[in-house]
Structure 1
Amino acid sequence: MRKTLTLLAAAATLSTGAFAADYAIDPTHTFATFEIGHFGASVNRGRFDKKDGKITFDKAAKTGSVDISFDVASVNTGTAGFDKHLQSPDILDAAKYPKARFVSSKFLFDGDKVSSVEGQLTLLDKTQPVTLKANQFNCFQSPMLKREVCGGDFEATIDRTAFGVNYGVDWGFPKNVRLVLQVEAVKQ
Structure 2
Amino acid sequence: MKSKLLVALLATLGLTVAAFAAPATYTAEPNHTFAQFSYNHLDFSIQTSRFNTVTGTVTIDQAAKKGSADITIDTKSVDTGSNVFNGHIQSEDFLSTTQFPTATFQADQMVFKGDKPSALKGVLTLKGVSKPVTLAITHFECKKHPMSGKDVCGANAETKVKRSDFNMAKYVPNVGDEVTIAIAIEAVKAE
User: Shorter-chain TM-score category?
Assistant: 0.7 to 0.9
Query: 1:144 maps to what in 2?
Result: 147
Q: How does 1:77-156 map to 2 (within 5 A)?
A: 77-156=80-159
- Aligned equivalents of 1:145, 1:186: Cα separation in 2: 10
Deviation at 1:18, TM superposition (A): 5.5
> 3-state DSSP class of the match of 1:169?
coil
After superposing on structure 2, the runs of 4+ consecutive aligned residues of structure 1 that deviate more than 3 Å are none
Distance 2:90 2:43 in 1: 23
1:31-46 matches, within 5 Å, as 31-46=34-49
Match of 2:25 among 22, 25, 47: 22
Q: In the alignment, which residue of structure 2 is the partner of 1:183?
A: 185
Is 1:58 equivalent to 2:56 in the alignment? no
Q: Percent identity?
A: 38
Matches within 5 A, 1:68-83: 68-83=71-86
TM-score of the aligned structures, taking structure 2 as reference length = 0.86
Q: What do the CA deviations read for 1:153-181 (whole angstroms, capped 9, x no partner)?
A: 111110111111111115x1111001111
Matched AA of 2:178:
N
Output the aligned Cα RMSD: 1.4
- Number of aligned positions between the proteins: 172
- The amino acid of 2:188's aligned partner reads V
Counterpart position of 2:10:
none
User: In the TM superposition, what is the alpha-carbon distance from 1:143 to its structure 2 partner?
Assistant: 1.7
Gaps of 5+ in 2: 1-17
TM-score normalised by structure 1 residue count = 0.88
Q: CA deviation at 1:64?
A: 0.9
Could you tell me which runs of 5 or more consecutive residues in structure 1 were left unpaired when the two chains were aligned.
1-14
